[in-house]
């Protein structure tokens, strides 16, 4: 490597970026106790790993919601992973977090926003990353496995696909990435740092979630699952069927179609599958 290249390499290494990690209050699946949400914690772990790799990376942790003791204890679970503070966008109970987050993100303009794919309480629709991306006009990459490097405002990401496949993507910053179980597991939360960390509370304009208010919420019940019927002649076939995920069948690949044709095809499929009636 020539000296000027080396110097350039070092400069790139030093190039840290501003990362905002969105965290929510989780819910333990067995006991329902508030905790750090599994996916959001993985998102924070990803950011902390970036900080170690890319010195100069600044992590800001963001939570939008009401301020109460139970929630604070759960949020401290994130802080115990080794953070000094967290920004709390204070909202009354039942507010829509999206607008508050959009406003804050637009004002602070981080280069990368990391969020869990789906919240463990509330609607848990998994739409928040998409809504943020729509409002901010930033690209979104879901199901992230790792962040490989950041170079000249372009981040190289590894996206997880089903059955262990990975796809390498280059995305121009700013961008939003969402993580699920494919991302590395979160580190242990330690009591001492969690206790010492501070919250900076920013009140936001109350923005009632009018749609949620109209919803009727009930505990989920287990739904019947369609069984996979395997007609296998040999043990090898049976094993293959058990070990592999079902391939999508009967689909069609549309190439070089106009957006209208594409939308029409999707609309037709949703009708067929009785998603839309």
Partner 1 sequence: MLETLLPILIFTALALAVIGAVRRIRLWRQGRPSRVNLLKGLVALPRRYLVDLHHVVGRDKMISNTHVATAGGFVAAAALMILVHGLGIANPLLGGLLLLASASMFVGSLFVARRRINPPARLSKGPWMRLPKSLMAFSIGVFLITLPTVGLLPDSLIEGSGSWLLALVLAGVVAWGLGEMFFGMAWGGPMKHAFAGALHLAFHRRAERFSTKKGGAGRSTGLKALNLEDEAAPLGVEKPADFTWNQLLGFDACVQCGRCEAVCPAFAAGQPLNPKKLIQDMVVGMAGGSDATYAGSPYPGKPVGEHAGTPHGPIVALEGKALVDADTLWSCTTCRACVEECPMMIEHVDAIVDMRRHLTLERGKTPNKGAEVLDNLIATDNPGGFDPGSRLNWAADLNLPLMSDLKQVDVLLWLGDGAFDMRNQRTLRALVKVLRAAEVDFAVLGTEERDSGDVARRLGDEATFQSLAKRNIATLSQYRFLQIVTCDPHSFHVLGNEYGELGGHYDVRHHSTFIAELYDAGRLTFSPWKGGSVTYHDPCYLGRYNGEYDAPRNVLKALGIEVKEMERSGFRSRCCGGGGGAPITDIPGERRIPDMRMNDVKESGAELVAVGCPQCTAMLEGVVDASAEVRDIAELVADALVERPTDGASGRSRRPAATTSAEEVTV
**CB of 150: closest distance to partner 1 in angstroms?**
24
Q: How far is Cα 155 from Cα 139, in angstroms, rounded to an integer?
A: 12
Cα dihedral 164/170/173/176 (nearest 10): -20
Contact status, residue 132 vs residue 100, Cβ threshold 8 Å? no
Q: How far is Cα 101 from Cα 60, in angstroms, rounded to an integer?
A: 13
Q: Would you say 3 or 192 has its CB closer to partner 1?
A: 192
- Greatest C-alpha distance within the chain: 66
Contact status, residue 171 vs residue 109, Cβ threshold 8 Å? no
Contact status, residue 34 vs residue 23, Cβ threshold 8 Å? no
Joined together, the tokens standing for residue 249 give 């069948």
**CB of 49: closest distance to partner 1 in angstroms?**
15
**CB of 40: closest distance to partner 1 in angstroms?**
15
Q: Would you say 78 or 138 has its CB closer to partner 1?
A: 78
Q: Would you say 31 or 258 has its CB closer to partner 1?
A: 31
- Interface residues with partner 1 (CB under 8 A) are 28, 30-31, 33, 35, 80-82, 187-193, 195-196
**CB of 46: closest distance to partner 1 in angstroms?**
17
Q: Which residues are CB-contacts of 215 (< 8 A; sequence separation ≥ 6)? A: 123
Q: Would you say 13 or 187 has its CB closer to partner 1?
A: 187
Q: Would you say 60 or 189 has its CB closer to partner 1?
A: 189
Contact status, residue 42 vs residue 116, Cβ threshold 8 Å? yes
**CB of 82: closest distance to partner 1 in angstroms?**
7
């Amino acid at each position: 490597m020539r000296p000027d290249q080396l110097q350039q390499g070092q400069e790139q290494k030093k190039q840290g970026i501003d990362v905002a990690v969105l965290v929510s209050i989780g819910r333990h699946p067995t006991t329902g106790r508030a905790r750090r949400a599994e996916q959001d914690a993985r998102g924070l772990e990803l950011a902390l790993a970036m900080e170690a790799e890319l010195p100069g990376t600044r992590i800001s942790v963001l939570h939008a919601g009401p301020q109460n003791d139970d929630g604070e204890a759960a949020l401290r679970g994130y802080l115990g992973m080794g953070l000094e503070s967290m920004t709390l966008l204070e909202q009354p109970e039942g507010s829509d977090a999206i607008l508050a987050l959009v406003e804050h993100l637009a004002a602070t303009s981080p280069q990368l926003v990391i969020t869990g794919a789906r919240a463990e309480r509330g609607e848990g629709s998994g739409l928040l990353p998409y809504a943020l991306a729509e409002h901010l006009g930033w690209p979104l990459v879901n199901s992230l496995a790792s962040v490989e490097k950041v170079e000249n405002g372009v981040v190289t990401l590894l996206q997880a696909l089903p059955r262990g496949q990975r796809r390498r993507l280059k995305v121009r910053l700013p961008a939003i990435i969402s993580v699920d179980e494919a991302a590395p597991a979160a580190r242990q939360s330690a009591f001492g740092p969690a206790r010492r960390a501070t919250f900076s509370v920013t009140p936001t304009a109350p923005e009632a979630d009018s749609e949620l208010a109209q919803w009727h919420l009930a505990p989920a019940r287990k739904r019947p699952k369609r069984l996979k019927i395997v007609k296998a002649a040999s043990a090898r076939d049976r094993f293959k069927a058990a070990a592999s995920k079902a391939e999508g069948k009967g689909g069609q690949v549309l190439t070089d179609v106009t957006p209208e044709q594409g939308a029409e095809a999707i609309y037709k499929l949703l009708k067929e599958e009785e998603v839309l009636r």
